[in-house]
Structure formats: structure tokens, C-alpha cells
Amino acid sequence: MLLKSHILLPLISTLLTPASSTFVVQCFSRLFDERADPIVNPGVVAGHVHAIVGGNGFNFSMDYDKARASTCSTCYIKEDLSNYWTPKMYYHAKNGSFIPVPINGDNQYGDMGGMAIYYLNRKGPDNDKLHPFPKGFRMLAGDTLRRASSTDFADMAVQHQCNVAGGPFVDQALPKRKCDSIRTQIVMPSCWDGKNLDSADHKSHMSYPTKSPNSNYDGGRCPSTHPVHMMTLFYEVTYNTNAFANDWYSDTQPFVFSNGDETGYGFHGDFVNGWDIPTLQKGIDTCVDGVTDCEDKVFTKRTQGETQSCKLPNMIAEPVSGILEKLPGCNPLTSGPAYATKVENCPAAKIAKVSDASLGVPDLTKSKGWKYIGCGTDNAGSRTLNGPQTSGPKMTVETCVDFCKGKGTKYAGLEYSGECYCGNSIAADRAPQTGVSGNCLMKCNGNAGEICGGAAAISLYQTCAGGACSNAVKKRSQRLAAVHAHHARRLVGRLIEAAS
């Protein structure tokens, strides 16, 4: 199992060769993928799913203090508790369903792929002093409705890099050819109006540099309306599109973003500042041309395991991974060139208060002496629990636990709303390992208040006979932390050996 962690190597090798006049905030995993966007849709469910990294103070609405109150982050610089997010990519299957494209680093333990955020020190032709992002600062770049190319810096700043032999090839659109991976990337604007921490469209308090023969979206002179020059943020998310290399079925490419965008032009990025400001200033001043390994000189760092064990539970009862029949948020597929229109009349989804009960886990510890141990994975070809099974239109967690209890097995597992499986062992690679709720998000046929697994996801219960009896909802994330810390230590050890 340890070997699977080698997927993380590309991210680590980036760290070994940092560019000068730059520092990189490496985010080794995601908090979660969720229809959350505290900038555009504060306090409510957002229009589409985002892949979200950074401090666990993130929430549907948040401010600088909430960010700073984070107790962990999926990004490795301790002084940075900011949040960064972008739309999530899906593969659109021939039969119409949507399957998440793995982000580089995702593995059997869950969403262990993240993002790299480059802080580029680009002072422009006048060698401007660069300023840190102030408290409460936030911004959005890109346009979720755009579906055509353009020569505006704001549009040119969104790109997709096809990593393939003979490449890489960079374009504003998603590549039409098969790529080993696609690196989606966006350069954020770097010129601030000096007054507003945010603006109505979340963009106009910022600007890209002024267009000139020598300028570009990632470097140049700031306009007089936006004279305060800041670091230039550059987001990179690498999607392992190669996982679907054998599943292309038409003359067009099969990947879409969560906002329904088939073109790639509607990709965007969001930033909520959560920095310790003096440390960010020190990074700006220190990480200049010729200085390498700047992260080590200025910042303190979390281990990779610490970043990977930082998770938030999903708070909206809708699946965002697994095999989806449609994109969450009623987003239709759009291919331009006309602008897409904003989705109206999508049934409102609720933000749930996170508790065992809201995760659909009934407490059977006292009534039946069985405990919930988490959400595992299953495979129709080789069942996780391969003992007796039953199914039915009135399935509840209680029905299944009673059935397996009657058969004398140690475990009971529920899947796909109405299937019940019993067994006496669970293979380690099928055991609960992902975030708090995993992909067990389907309601039980016989009780809509309970969760009965999901597609290829199994809600697992275990008899307490001979052991402690409490539901594992919270303990599991702690165990996950330990597992990842262990793996990270082993991995870093090997890297040091390999490098020396």
C-alpha cells in the first residue's frame, strides 16, 4: 500500500528545484470538494463544485479572523492559513454520467491531490515595491460564464497545459488531444486599487498590468487606477486525465469543469487571504532574484502528513464524487462560443450542521451493541464483505445490522441505498480511509434520514462484542492523520536517500 504514495513524488520534486524570485505554497491535499464559495455565494450553497485547499477555518461564509483561526491547513507554509479554490474537473462518459478526474496525488486514501500556488515576485519595469495582501483581502479571477478565447489579459491568464511527449502545449482552451495530464492554471491580477478589500464583482478592486509591447498578464506596469503592486499569484492544478485515455468516444475531448464548461475558458480561481502579514512581507522582501530555497529561509513548514490529514467534512448532502448522473447544481453542458447563462431554478440544497446524525449514522451502540466504523469502498466484481447478503426497497441500517447479527458475522455494510452485505473481515485497501463522510451519501430506501452507502461505497458497522463501543466518525480522522504522518515520514526518508 505504501507504494501507492509514489503518486506524490511529482509534487515533492517541484519542491527540490524552486525557481528564484518566487516562493511556492505547496498544498498537498484538499480540504474537500464542495459547492462552497464564500466570496461569490457567502452563506449559501454555491453554483458548482470547487476543489478547495488551505486552512480549515474555511466555511460557507468567512472572514480573515476565521481563516486565521484555522487549526490546520492542506498547504505547507505554517504562516499561511489562506484558502485557494478552483472548479473541479470531471470526465463526461458516453452514457452521460460524470466521474471526477483524479487530481495528481489522489490515491486510495482519498483526496490527497492538491494545488501549487506560486508567489511570483514581479515588480514591473519601474521596480515597484511589492505589498502584502492586507487583512480581509479576497479576490476572484476568471469568468465562470466565458466560453470563447480572447486577448484580454484577464482571459489570457487562464490556461491549460497538455503534458505529453513532444509538449507541453499550452492553450486557453482544454486540449483537444490526449495528454498524460492536464495542468490547469491561472495567473491572478497583481495591481490593487489600494482601498477596497473586495468589490461587487470581486474583481474590479484588482487589475492586471497595463497592456504594452513589454507587458503581460503576469508582469508589467500597474494602471494609475490600481497603483498598488502586489505579488503575482499563479495557481496550478494537475489533473491525471490519462486515467481516461482509453475512454474517449467522439471527435471532441471528454473533460468538463463542474460549472458545465466543456471549453476550459470558464476556469477561474479564488483567494481569501489568511496570511500572517509580517511573514508574507518578509517572504516578498527575501524571495527575490537569485535566492533559492526561499521557503526554508523565511517560513516554517508543516509536514506533508500534516497537510494531508487536514480535512473538512462535506456539509451538503449530495454526492460530488463517484459516478454522478449529473453535475451538482443543475449545470448544463455548454460549449460556447456564446457566454453561458447563469443557472436559475435549481432546487436549493441545504448546508447541514455536521454531526453523526446529519451524516445519516444512527447510534446503535446502546440499542444493538454495534458501532459505525466509517465509509469504505466496494467493487461489484469482488465484494468487500463476501458473506451473506440481502437487499430490498425498505432497507435501513437497523435492518441490515439485524440481518448480519442473525448470521453471526462481525461486520454489516450498506450500499447503494438498498443493499446489505455481511462479512468477517475487511481488506485494508477497502477499509474507511477517506474524509469524515467518504462517498457514502445515498439515503436508505427505508429511511431517508439514514445513509446506506453509495455507488461503490459501503457504510460499515461492526459488532462491539469484546471491544469498545462508540461510533468512529471523529476518531477516524485522527487515525487518518497518524497513517499519513507515518507514510510521509517513510516517503521523505526515501527521498533523502534517493537525493543523496
The residue within the footprint of ligand NAG, chosen from 277, 323, 343, 349 (CB under 6 A), is: 323
Q: Which residues contact 387 (CB under 8 A, 6 or more apart)?
A: 404, 407, 409, 421, 422, 423, 424
Closer residue to ligand NAG in complex, CB, 342/353: 353
C-alpha to C-alpha distance for 452 and 344, rounded to whole angstroms: 31
Q: How many other C-beta atoms are found inside a 10 Å radius of the C-beta of residue 272?
A: 26
Cβ 93 to ligand NAG, closest distance in Å?
A: 4
CB 419 within 8 A of CB 396: no
The answer to whether 93 contacts ligand NAG (rule: CB under 6 A) is: yes
C-alpha to C-alpha distance for 150 and 450, rounded to whole angstroms: 49
The answer to whether 97 contacts ligand NAG (rule: CB under 6 A) is: yes
Q: x/- contact string, 31-50, with ligand NAG (CB under 6 A)?
A: ------------x-------
Sole window of 93-101, 115-123, 210-218, 409-417 interacting with ligand NAG (rule: CB under 6 A): 93-101
Closer residue to ligand NAG in complex, CB, 197/351: 351
Q: x/- contact string, 324-353, with ligand NAG (CB under 6 A)?
A: ---------------------------x-x
CB 432 within 8 A of CB 376: yes
Q: How many other C-beta atoms are found inside a 10 Å radius of the C-beta of residue 194?
A: 13
The residue within the footprint of ligand NAG, chosen from 17, 71, 95, 345 (CB under 6 A), is: 95
The answer to whether 151 contacts ligand NAG (rule: CB under 6 A) is: no
Query: Helices marked H in 40-168 — which ranges?
Result: 64-68, 153-156
The answer to whether 246 contacts ligand NAG (rule: CB under 6 A) is: no
Closer residue to ligand NAG in complex, CB, 291/351: 351
User: Is the N-terminal amide bond of 337 cis, ω within 30° of 0?
Assistant: yes
The residue within the footprint of ligand NAG, chosen from 60, 133, 192, 217 (CB under 6 A), is: 60
Q: 498578464: which residue's cell? A: 217
Q: Which residues contact 158 (CB under 8 A, 6 or more apart)?
A: 141, 142, 172, 185, 186, 264, 265, 267, 268
Q: x/- contact string, 414-453, with ligand NAG (CB under 6 A)?
A: ----------------------------------------
Coil, helix or strand at residue 423: strand
Could you list the residues that contact ligand NAG (CB under 6 A)?
43, 59-60, 93, 95, 97, 323, 351, 353
